[in-house]
Chain A
């Protein structure tokens, strides 16, 4: 079985069906780029995968261990556990404005550590010590992550003091903190000025080189070509075509894919 296995995923909002049964799989360490025109269901697909939307039908299996079946009821805690297996970087960054870059990375991390400690150590001095220890470790980890995305200078700045590219890099560091099995990007550069997209794409490339498993919804065709192991083309709520970048960009089989890529090229 593949590292990520999605079967017959369906989602509709009211009477509008957005995903008409998506079958998708990928292996560990792979980078998949999802392309397609707006309204094709790319973002909904990603949101279903991260449980921001609940799929109406279908199953999601990660690492053979975490299994989601839309037909079943899940408690909030179960959903949370599955969510932690995945990281998501938003188009609009969604950093917490009241926290500095470091705190943005550190606070969610520390909250999870605290939860684990509370379960393991019931109360008392031991627990306080454990929390203190976790605090130190998590701060170090947050600092390391921010250095990794090239922001060691800006650690104590607030989001409003950072450029879009810097904010998105903080968001990436934050998403990496929980060691997600799969890191998802929802059009990570669409909200950025053109001159700032480079720094974010560079970070994603570095992550690929580290061997991370990623799904990137993107409009940057050049980037998709250079970074993707597999390109998936979404159209009208189904996967119209998937293959290696060479296959998709050089010899698309579907006329829809060809049409989409042509329009894309003309506009550049």
Chain B
């Protein structure tokens, strides 16, 4: 195999990794907010339910969740939620979104609960509704507070995408394992390192930029 063929193969694999990463963020960030509201809800059954889900998801390996999402529906109910080649990606996406939403929800919860009571009270005496209070007063402060832990999770997610190979998603590691390592090619592994380093590097710069944007005020 020529260098370019292998490079093309790695790029294809990496594009799957990137797509998984981006879509996971797109869905998990808002879903995490919903779950964090759920676990902070005054309606006890809901908060109990959400906290249990978070406990289960955070308490079990992501690898296991991938297996459960992909294989269990077919085995128990004889339905193919995710069959074939493309279904694998969707199954992995679902598992990743649920997993990361749970982690995000706890970060959000920590952020929201760390906002001083005085901010809510000030908003209340100024006649703001709960909704206005959240979106105009609390949210931006939460965003600032959670930037550091979120950056951490997001960078972890980049590398966690390689776990999707467990159910045969053709991401960069799977491609390398199945198509290149099997031919005795080791050096593509170094290329994987370069891909990830560059990607995480760009991400770090981006997250740093956002953090800087938010540094005009102190909480």
- Where the two chains meet, the residues of A that have a C-beta atom closer than 8 Å to any C-beta of B are 50-52, 76, 80-81, 83-84, 86-88, 90, 92, 94-98, 107-108, 111-112, 158-160, 174-175, 178
Contact = CB atoms under 8 A, between A and B. Distances in A.
B118 A158 contact: no
A160 B124 contact: no
Interface stretch (B7-15, B136-144, B146-154, B170-178): B136-144
Given A83-B127, A112-B127, A96 B121 contact: no
A95 B125 CA distance: 12
A92 B127 contact: no
A76 B125 contact: no
B129 interface: yes
A97 B119 CA distance: 9
Contacts of A175: 125-126
A51 B126 CA distance: 12
Contacts of B144: 98
B128 interface: yes
- Shortest 3 CB-CB contacts between residues of A and residues of B: A94-B122, A94-B118, A108-B126
A97 B141 contact: yes
B130 A111 contact: no
A97 B218 contact: yes
Given A76-B130, A97-B219, A52 B136 contact: no
A175 B127 CA distance: 10
B216 interface: yes
Given A159-B217, A160-B218, A90 B118 contact: yes
A31 to B, nearest CB: 19
B132 interface: yes
A178 to B, nearest CB: 6
B128 A111 contact: yes
Contact of A80 (B121, B129, B140): B129
Contact of B125 (A83, A92, A111): A83
A80 B128 CA distance: 8
A160 B217 contact: yes
Contacts of A159: 217
B122 A90 contact: yes
A137 B216 CA distance: 27
B216 A158 contact: yes
Given A88-B125, A97-B219, A175-B126, 17 more contacts: A50-B125, A52-B121, A52-B124, A52-B125, A76-B130, A83-B127, A90-B118, A92-B116, A94-B121, A95-B122, A96-B119, A97-B217, A111-B127, A112-B127, A158-B217, A159-B217, A160-B218
Given A97-B141, A98-B217, A87 B125 contact: yes
A96 B122 contact: yes
A216 to B, nearest CB: 16
Contacts of B129: 76, 80
A136 B137 CA distance: 21
B112 to A, nearest CB: 15
B47 to A, nearest CB: 20
A87 B122 CA distance: 10
A88 B144 CA distance: 27
Contacts of A98: 140-141, 144, 217
Contacts of A50: 125
Nearest to A81: B127
Nearest to A180: B125
Nearest to A109: B126
Contacts of A96: 119, 122-123, 137, 141
A174 B126 contact: yes
B133 to A, nearest CB: 10
A86 B218 CA distance: 29
- Residue with the highest number of chain A CB atoms closer than 10 Å, among B140, B144, B217: B217
A158 B140 CA distance: 14
Contact of A83 (B118, B124, B219): B124
B128 A108 contact: yes
Contacts of A107: 136
B216 A84 contact: no
- Residue with the highest number of chain A CB atoms closer than 10 Å, among B128, B130, B141: B128
- Residue with the highest number of chain A CB atoms closer than 10 Å, among B126, B140, B217, B219: B126
Nearest to A52: B121
